[in-house]
Amino acid sequence: MNENSFGNKIPNIEIPKVPEKGRQEKLDLKIEVAGPEDWKIVRDLRVEAITGPDARMFGLTKKGTIQESNRSEQEWRDELSGDKTFAVLSWSGSNPVGFGRAILREDGAWRIRNGYVKNEFRGVGIGEQIFKMRLDEIRRRGGKQVITSIRPDNLGSLHIAEKFGFKPISTINVAMSSLQNRLFKKGFTHLYLDLEQDNK
């Protein structure tokens, strides 16, 4: 076992190297903020993420997975048209290959959530680009503080967060009050970035 830069014990796994840009160019990649008209694409990618082989990375219970999978068209459209939440889509040509969401919390901090890239498109930097696009959009919306929660064994996502300057808040592995439960997921590494400090 090794320890990552956030102090988590992790198995000896090598993070895949990002190949040269040539592969990205061959994929004809683009990333954009999703609009309400993209609700089916975001929904389908989200359901694929929470029901596929990497589902445990998202920390949903069976009940939560069912609820998320059965959200209405209007709920998805509302999420993609409000000023307190947004999603980013990544495309290879006309094929959606990844997404990520962000939500404005009641305390004024943004939470980066639910990043996902289809397995066959991993290893070329798409996850990093989705992460960066969310940070750029948060800045554009006037955001100053960002948090995210990542499983300690999700080395790729931890590496990306570290690259963008996120620092650990804590890792919570104990029973939590309902308020804390809404703010932090148990068993996840919770990270923070101050965008004002980042811009100095």
What are the structural domains, with CATH classification, of the chain?
A: 20-198 (3.40.630.30)
Here the tokens at position 80 are 């993609």
Cα distances (Å, whole numbers) of residue 4 to 59, 115, 158: 20, 20, 9
Whether pTM exceeds 0.85: no
Instruction: Encode the chain (200 residues) as per-residue pLDDT tens digits.
Output: 445 444 544 443 343 444 444 455 567 889 999 999 999 999 999 999 988 888 877 877 788 888 888 999 999 999 899 899 999 999 999 999 999 999 999 889 999 988 999 999 988 899 999 999 999 999 999 999 999 988 888 888 999 999 999 998 854 433 334 444 444 555 788 899 999 886 54
**Confidence at residue 52, expressed as pLDDT on a 0 to 100 scale:** 87
CA–CA separation, 163 and 128 (whole Å): 9
CA triple 118-110-147, angle to 5 deg? 75
**If residue 46 lies in a helix (H) or strand (E), which one and from where to where?**
helix 39-51
Report the C-alpha gap between 200 and 161 in whole angstroms: 19
Tokens encoding 46: 């989200």
Q: If DSSP codes are grouped into helix, strand and coil, which group holds residue 171?
A: strand
CA angle 29, 35, 38 (to 5 degrees): 70
